[in-house]
Each structure stands twice: as C-alpha cells, then as structure tokens.
C-alpha cells in the first residue's frame, strides 16, 4: 500500500495574496475537523493558526501608516504653493511695469524646468523642489526677481514645507522597516503548514478515520486547484485518499 501524502504545492510561485488565502482556507478546513485531531496535530494546527493570522493580517491589513495623512497634507501644501507661484509669475508677465515683466520672464525661464512638479511622484517632487530651492537661493538675480514679483515669501514657505515633507517621509520609511516583513511571516507560516501536513499524513497512515480522510481530501483538492493555476505538474508519487 502506497503511503498517503499531500500533493506538493510550490508556495514560492504564489503571490502574497494567494498564499494568504490558501493558508486561511486550510485553517478553516482544519478547524472544522479539529475534534478528530490528536494532540500532536492540534499543536501543529495551533502554530499554523497563530502564524497564519499574523501573516494574513500583514497581507490584508488596510490600516494607514500614521504618517500617511501628514505626507498627503504637506504634499498638497507644496502643490498649492507651487501653483500660486506659477500664477503670480504669469500675472506679472502681463504687468504694465517693464521691471515686473522682466522679472517674470527671468523667473519663468527658471521655473519652466520644474513645471511638471505638481503632477510628479512624491519622491521626484521632494528631490526636484529641494534642487530648485537650492539653485534659487544661490542666484542673486532670481532672488531679486522673486522680490519684485512678490513670491519670495512663498518660496521660503515652500522650502520649509518641503523640508518637513522629506522629514516625515523618512520617518514613515523607518517605521515601515521596523515592521516585520510579509516575507518573514510567510516563511514561518509555510514552516507551520508543512509541519501540520506531516502530522495529518502520519495520522492517516497509522490511525485513519473518516474526518481525517475528509480533511485530507479538502486540503488536497485546494492544492490541486492552486497547482493548476500556476501550471505546476504533479510529478511526485502521491495518493488521493478516497
């Protein structure tokens, strides 16, 4: 008689979402058959439930990073300031005063390189705004033109806001790095899953019962479905328990 074993599932071929869904469904099957499991299998199931819960929470969680709202708020402030700066330059380019028109032309030539900032990515916006401010502060002609057009104060505010945006962004990244990664949790859950399967196989090959057979078949069918999705051939010697 051939030894009863689960089909092999190549978990590394699954996305985090699919892997989490698989672990969740496996746990649901196991919980429904918990009364028929021996002490060893129940301990293995407990470990699987704990690790799967942590992993799935990390994969499916919808909680916002506590810095997200600050980043959104400061980014909008920067975008609004840039918009006001562009508007002021455009307005003064139509001025009756020659000095204002000239100043607006100088600034327009400088800012044209940064005209895409409001629609750029967050990282690009922060880096390019920082570069823009540094060039502006290093050029006396630009600083003089900004005073004439009336945007010097807005540029100072933009610098302060962008510096704050960069600081909050860095804090957000550091906070994310402190959280346990999905990959680490996935490895632990996978190990628990393998150990649980081993205990079920051992029980089926030594003291089988109808509930264990049903649990085995349910999980094996789930594995078969996933294997068909990732197009992995079943080349191992396995038995579907009937």
Q: Helix/strand/coil (H, E, C) string of 183-219?
A: HHHHHHHHHHHHHHHHHHHHHHHHCCCHHHHHHHHHH
User: What sign has the CA pseudo-torsion 69, 70, 75, 78?
Assistant: positive
Largest CA distance in the chain: 99
- 153 and 218: one domain? no
- What is the structure's pLDDT at 208? 86
* 6 located within any domain: no
Q: Are residues 44 and 27 in the same domain?
A: yes
Asked if residue 150 belongs to a domain, the reply is yes
Residues 110 and 54 in one domain: no
* Domain encompassing residue 46: 11-62+182-229
Q: Which of 3, 29, 11 is nearest to 216 (CA)?
A: 29
**Residue 133 in domain:** yes
Q: Kindly state the DSSP code that residue 180 receives in the 8-state scheme.
A: P
pLDDT of residue 68: 76
Q: Do 190 and 100 belong to one domain? A: no
C-beta of residue 201 within 8 angstroms of C-beta of residue 4: yes
The answer to whether residues 72 and 169 belong to one domain is yes
Do 124 and 159 lie in one domain? The reply is yes
23 part of a folded domain: yes
Task: Per-residue pLDDT tens, the chain, 242 aa: give them.
Answer: 578 888 888 788 888 888 899 999 999 999 988 888 889 999 999 999 999 988 888 787 644 556 777 888 888 888 899 999 999 999 999 999 999 999 999 999 999 988 888 778 888 889 999 999 999 999 999 999 999 999 999 999 999 999 988 888 887 776 655 556 778 888 999 999 999 999 999 988 888 889 889 999 999 999 988 888 775 444 443 333 33
| 129 and 174 part of one domain | yes
Please state the domain count of the chain. 2
pLDDT in tens, 103-127: 999 999 999 988 888 778 888 889 9
This model's pTM is above 0.85: no
- Please tell me whether residues 55 and 143 are part of one structural domain: no
- Looking at residue 35, its pLDDT comes to 86
Are residue 48 and residue 72 in the same domain, yes or no? no
Pair 75, 241: CB distance under 8 Å: no
Euclidean distance between CA atoms 55 and 17, whole angstroms? 10
Q: What is the pLDDT of residue 174?
A: 66
Same domain, 105 and 143: yes
Q: Give the pLDDT of residue 65.
A: 55
């Amino acid at each position: 008689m051939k030894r009863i074993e689960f089909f092999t599932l190549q978990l590394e071929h699954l996305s985090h979402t699919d892997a989490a869904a698989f672990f969740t469904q496996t746990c649901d099957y196991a919980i429904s058959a918990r009364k028929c499991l021996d002490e060893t299998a129940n301990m293995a199931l407990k470990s699987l439930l704990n690790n799967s819960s942590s992993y799935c929470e990390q994969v499916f969680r919808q909680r916002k990073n506590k810095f997200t709202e600050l980043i959104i708020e400061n980014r909008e402030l920067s975008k609004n300031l840039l918009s006001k700066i562009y508007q002021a330059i455009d307005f003064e380019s139509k001025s009756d005063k020659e000095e204002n028109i000239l100043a607006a032309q100088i600034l327009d030539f400088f800012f044209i390189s940064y005209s895409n900032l409001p629609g750029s990515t967050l990282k690009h916006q922060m880096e390019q705004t920082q570069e823009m401010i540094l060039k502006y502060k290093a050029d006396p002609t630009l600083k003089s033109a900004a005073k004439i057009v009336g945007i010097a104060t807005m540029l100072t505010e933009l610098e302060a806001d962008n510096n704050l945006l960069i600081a909050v962004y860095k804090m957000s990244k550091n906070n994310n790095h402190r959280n346990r990664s999905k990959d680490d949790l996935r490895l632990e859950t996978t190990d628990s899953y393998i150990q649980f399967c081993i205990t079920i196989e051992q029980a089926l090959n030594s003291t089988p019962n109808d509930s264990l057979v049903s649990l085995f078949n349910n999980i094996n069918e789930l594995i078969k479905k996933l294997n068909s999705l990732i197009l992995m051939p079943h080349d191992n010697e396995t038995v579907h328990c009937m």
